Structures are given as structure tokens and as C-alpha cells.
Amino acid sequence: MKRIALLGMPNTGKSTLFNRISGASARVGNWPGITVDLMSAKILMGGHIAELIDLPGIYDLHGFSEDEQVVRHFLAHNAVDLVIILLNSSQIDRQLSLVLQIKKLNLPAVLALNMADEAKRAGISIDTESLTRELNMPVISISAKFGDGLPKALQAAATIINQNKTATDPQQISQLLQEDNQIEREMEQLIAHHVQIPATLSDNTTDKIDRILLHKWFGLPIFFAAMFLLFQFIFTAGKPLQDGLAWALDLFRTAALEPLFASSPAWLSGLMLDGVFNGVATVAAFVPIIILFFLVMSMVEDSGYLSRAAFLMDALMAKMGLDGRGFVMMLMGFGCNVPALMGTRIMRSKPMRLLTMLVIPLSLCSARLQVFIFMITALFTAKQAPFVLFTLYVMSFATMFLTALLFQGQYKNAEPFILELPPYRFPTLRQIVLRGWHEVKHFLNRATKFIIIGVVLVWLLTNFPSDVPPASSGTYAGQIGALFAPILDPIGINSQLAIALIFGFVAKEIVVGSLAVIYGMQGDALMAQMATQVDWVQAMSFMLFTLIYTPCLSTVATLRSESKSSAFMWLSIVWSLCLAWVVSFVFYQGARALGF
């Protein structure tokens, strides 16, 4: 099988190109000589089955940061048939050095000049034909975002693959990597002969926007105000969609499922209707809001604004032993903790990476968001809802900052923070739709793996032994709730909520489904029942505990694999559990002491 390596500097659109070429076939795998997993995909190239490997973004092949060593080790231990080098056309004067370093290794390569549209707007023109002759490798302008020029680049890659040359010997690459070389002078000559860059770039829109968004006094307030408005929009626009889907699911139960199971044994009817359907339908009703959340966040991420947020937060993060990249990873964790944890691979310092990984599981992920939207809708008014949700996001940041402050001495870092601010961009409709579909697919996968199994187990626990009333203290669920009562009563969490929390260890999506099964209701009826069972103080305490306590099994497994340490994984679990109890205890007892 042929092996193709995709290589480039950060913020060149490498991930976009990898996703466009690989489609949905990407996977994560281990490679000899390196300590992190790399994304790879099997593709058809020039009539051959080839494996495309997405290497970490690096600035210099001769550096000694963790990501640069990953690339060096990969090339030194794996035969490569082709390297696709991706550059940002508008920054070619700073990025061509990496091409010359790859060229020195005598690796067959194709140079793809991405973001050609931005270079054109900036007044930069590149003579790709003369550059091809000078570098002795195909040079093609492309747009990974829109797909322009991609067929030509892939054809050039296929031509090289079809030459059936023997892959470069890794031993030879290893020797060449040990040789230092004079790159700067060669790069300047290439730029002078083949690239025309105006003295002042013509597109200064980014600078004008940054004067406002990166203002030293107003930058952070603008960022947090923007985040609050996004939450307001998501909640306001998503609520009708949620209600519509809940109505459709309720109609489906009444018109189709209840007649279908009318003649079935009572246990089977209860299991399928009050167990499986109620649990899954209650969770599914929140899918529109989750999709809307990710559609909006994908636009924010791809716009370049999150890099500005990292820049704005760097001074504050530095006081806690982190940097702006850690803040970006925290924001990624609001979608899902797992990719955010994997994203810490871009950090060169291992202590900073571990500290960032310790705080990411405290991010308010989309699975927790389902629980909060359910509880907020049931216990708070429409006017109160956005403020309650925003408060939970603020608490998420507060617990992350507190954790970083307490553990920064254990994970000391002395590496400076370097961040390149990309120009502002607006994602294409295709990117937005693909992101939404990815999240729907992720939800469906988790539904099949965790939610159905979880709600079935909850139904069994709340309906057996069969000689006691369902969901009573005599059931197995009631007995488990009584066992944890001494721990959870001081924070206002009753036995029903305790069962939901226990299953939340597996996946937070199960929490809402568990409540539907425990009370044998769904939709508005379930929310009305919840309002009679708990007050707003108990609900807030429950949400705070859910926000902070141990993340899902997928996140725990990722913590173990990324840190390569079981001790670190257990530290994260124990710390989050203790912190969750203390925060909920202080809030609940404090609110009760004030007479609420």
C-alpha cells in the first residue's frame, strides 16, 4: 500500500484538505516511533489504494518541540511514497522554508498553495509554473475550503504515485534530518524571483475589525457579550424546534406505538413505552438545539474569532500556568471534551498539555447542555432561562480556572506562547452542514451504544422487584438511592436524581432519558412533574453537580490514552467528584440559609 503524508504549518487549512480528500473514512491510529495518534484514511490515488496520514502542523522540521519531533520520528521510521505540502499562499514568504527542508530530504512531493483567493485579495501573485521548475516539484494553487484546483493537485500526486518509485528509505531520511542547512538565503532568492508582494497588503479589513475586537479594554467584554448573545439566540431559536419535535414524538407514541403494544404483556408494554421510547424520545427532543449550537459554533470557530479569544485571554491564562491555546481547547470542550483533549497535541510543553487536559473535562459539553436545557425549561421562565444557562457557562470557566490555579505548581511550564492570527473568514454552507451532520451522527452513535442500554437498565431498576410500586423506595433504584442518600442529601439531590447521576457516569445523555423512565413520562408532562418534585435551588444544585462531576466514559478513556497515565486519569476523576460535591454543597446550603 502506498503511503502519503500531508504536511504543513498551522492555520494553512491542512485539516480542511484532509477532510475533503478523505471524506468520512478517517480513523485514528498508532505509528512506530511516535507517542501520539495520527489521523489517517485510505483513499484511491492513481489506481492505487493509498493511506493518507495527517501529520501535526509544524513551523520548522529542524525544531525540537513535541509536534516537530512527531513529524521527524514519523519520517525517520516510516517509508513515505509522497508528501503533499500545504502552504498558505498569502504567507508564502514565511512558509516556503518548510518546503525547502522537505526538498532537502529528497522526498517526492507536491506543493499545494492554499487560500489562493486570500492571496489574490492581498495583491500577491505567484508564478506557479516557474516555481515548479525551480523547485523541481509540482506547484498548484488550490482552495481546500471550496475545492478549487484540488483535482489538478490530486492528478499531480497520482502521477508521482504511478511512477512506482521505491519509497524513500527512512534510514536515509533520519541521517538527513541530522544535518543542519542554510534555508533562509535560498528562500529569499525564491521569493524574489517568483513571488510579487505589495509593500502594503491591500486587504486591511482584518486589521480594522481587530482594532475593535482586540481592544485592550473592550476586547474581553465584547467576547463575553457575543457569547451570551449566541446562547440567547440558540435558546430562543431552538425552543420552537424542540417543542415541535417533542409534539411529533408524542403523536407517534399515541397514534402508532400505544395501539401496537395495546395487547402486549404489561411488562413488555411498560419496557418499550415507558422505558425505551420515553427515554430515547426525551433525549431526541433536544437534538435540534444541539445541532443549532454546533452550527453557530462552527461559524465562530472557522471565522478566526477563537484565535482572537485565545490572544485576549493569554495574559489571564498565563497567571494560571496555561496560555491562549488552552483557552481555545476549553472552548472546543463546549462541543465535546474528547476532540478538545486530542487537540492538546498542538502544545509543545508536556506539563502545559497535562494541565490543560485536567481542566478540559470541566467544560460544559453538548451532552451536559441537554440536561441543563431540560432542567431550565422545567424550573425557570423563558426570561430567566438564558441567564441561568449563561451562569452555568460562567461556573464552568470558574471551575476550570480554579483547577488550573491549584495544580499549576505541579505542572510548571516555561514555554512562551506563540499564536498566529488568521484573517477573518466565513465558512461555506457545505462546512456548516457537514458539521451539523457530524454531530447528529455522533448523537445517533451514542444513542445506539449508551442511551438505549441505559434507559432499559433504569427501567429494570425502577420496576423490580415487581411486588413493589414502580420507582418506589422498595425497588432496586430506591435502594441504590438510599445508599447514596448520606452523600447526596446535603446537596439537595433526591433518590430519583441520584439514579440519573449514576448512569450519567456512562454518558451524560442518559441523565434526561433516565428521568423520563423513572417518572414514566416525557415532554411537557415530565417537565411539569419535575417542577413538583424539586424546587429551583435543588435543580441548580443538581445542574452544578452534573456540570462538574466525572465526565463520560469516552472522555475518561481519552484522558487515559492521551496522558499515557492511569494515575493522571484517576486524579481527574477524583478531583472532579470532590469539586462537584463541594460547589453544590456551598450553593445548596448557602441558598437554604438565606431562606430560599
* pLDDT tens-digit series, residues 126-170: 999 999 999 999 999 998 888 889 999 999 999 988 886 666 667
Domain edge (last residue) among 196, 231, 262? 196
Q: Are residues 24 and 87 in the same domain?
A: yes
Asked, for residue 431, whether it belongs to a domain, the answer is yes
Asked, for residue 478, whether it belongs to a domain, the answer is yes
Q: Are residues 190 and 227 in the same domain?
A: no
Give the count of alpha carbons within 13 A of 28, CB side only.
10
Residue 350: how many other CB atoms lie within 10 Å:
14
Over range 9-29, report the average pLDDT: 72
Q: Which has the closest alpha carbon to 53: 93, 24, 91, 82?
A: 82
pLDDT of residue 423: 74
pLDDT band at residue 184 using 50, 70 and 90 as cut-offs: low
According to DSSP, residue 424 is labeled P
> Per mean pLDDT, which of 160-174, 304-318, 429-443 is the most reliable?
304-318
Asked, for residue 357, whether it belongs to a domain, the answer is yes
Question: Which secondary-structure segment (H or E) carries 262?
Answer: none
More confidently predicted of 251 and 26: 251
Say which CATH number the domain at 67 has.
Answer: 3.40.50.300
Rounded CA gap, 49 and 389, in Å?
Answer: 49
CB 496 within 8 A of CB 518: yes
Measured in degrees and rounded to the nearest 5, phi and psi for residue 111 equal: -100, 115
Flag whether pLDDT at 69 surpasses 50.
yes
Q: Are residues 240 and 303 in the same domain?
A: yes
CB 2 within 8 A of CB 166: no
Asked, for residue 209, whether it belongs to a domain, the answer is no
Q: Are residues 562 and 491 in the same domain?
A: yes
Flag whether pLDDT at 29 surpasses 50.
no
Q: What predicted TM-score, i.e. pTM, was given to this entire model?
A: 0.63
Long-range contacts made by residues 165-171, C-beta under 8 angstroms, separation at least 24? Answer: 165/81, 165/108, 167/3, 167/79, 167/80, 167/81, 168/79, 168/80, 168/105, 168/106, 168/107, 168/108, 169/79, 170/75, 170/76, 170/77, 170/78, 170/79
When divided into structural domains, the chain yields a total of 2
> Per mean pLDDT, which of 79-83, 106-110, 508-512, 539-543 is the most reliable?
539-543
pLDDT of residue 31: 42
Look up the domain containing 529 and give its range.
220-593
CB 290 within 8 A of CB 336: no
Q: Are residues 225 and 143 in the same domain?
A: no
Q: Are residues 292 and 396 in the same domain?
A: yes
Q: Are residues 451 and 539 in the same domain?
A: yes
> Per mean pLDDT, which of 186-200, 356-370, 570-584 is the most reliable?
570-584
Distances (CA, A) of 572 to 378, 542, 560: 31, 20, 10
Over range 475-500, report the average pLDDT: 89
Flag whether pLDDT at 199 surpasses 70.
no
Q: Are residues 23 and 118 in the same domain?
A: yes
CB 292 within 8 A of CB 238: yes
Alpha helix (H) ranges present in 105-149?
116-121, 128-135
Please give the span between the terminal C-alpha atoms of the chain, in angstroms, as a whole number: 68
Asked, for residue 394, whether it belongs to a domain, the answer is yes
Asked, for residue 98, whether it belongs to a domain, the answer is yes
Give the residues across from 195 on adjacent strands: 126
Q: Are residues 176 and 227 in the same domain?
A: no
Q: Are residues 505 and 363 in the same domain?
A: yes
Question: Which secondary-structure segment (H or E) carries 313?
Answer: helix 305-318
C-alpha cell read off for 4 = 502519503
Rounded CA gap, 356 and 404, in Å?
Answer: 8
Domain edge (last residue) among 196, 231, 264? 196
pLDDT of residue 523: 73
State what percent of residues in the chain have pLDDT above 90: 21
Asked, for residue 215, whether it belongs to a domain, the answer is no
Flag whether pLDDT at 315 surpasses 60.
yes
Map 400-418 to HEC letters. HHHHHHHHCCCCCCCCCCC
Measured in degrees and rounded to the nearest 5, phi and psi for residue 497 equal: -65, -30
Distances (CA, A) of 243 to 238, 248, 280: 9, 9, 15
Q: Are residues 178 and 298 in the same domain?
A: no
Buried (b) or exposed (e) across 278-293, using 16+ Cβ within 10 A?
bbbbbbbbbbbbbbbb
> Per mean pLDDT, which of 141-155, 191-205, 410-424 is the most reliable?
141-155
Q: Are residues 56 and 112 in the same domain?
A: yes
What is the amino acid identity at position 305?
A: Y
Identify the residue whose cell numbers are 473592550: 218
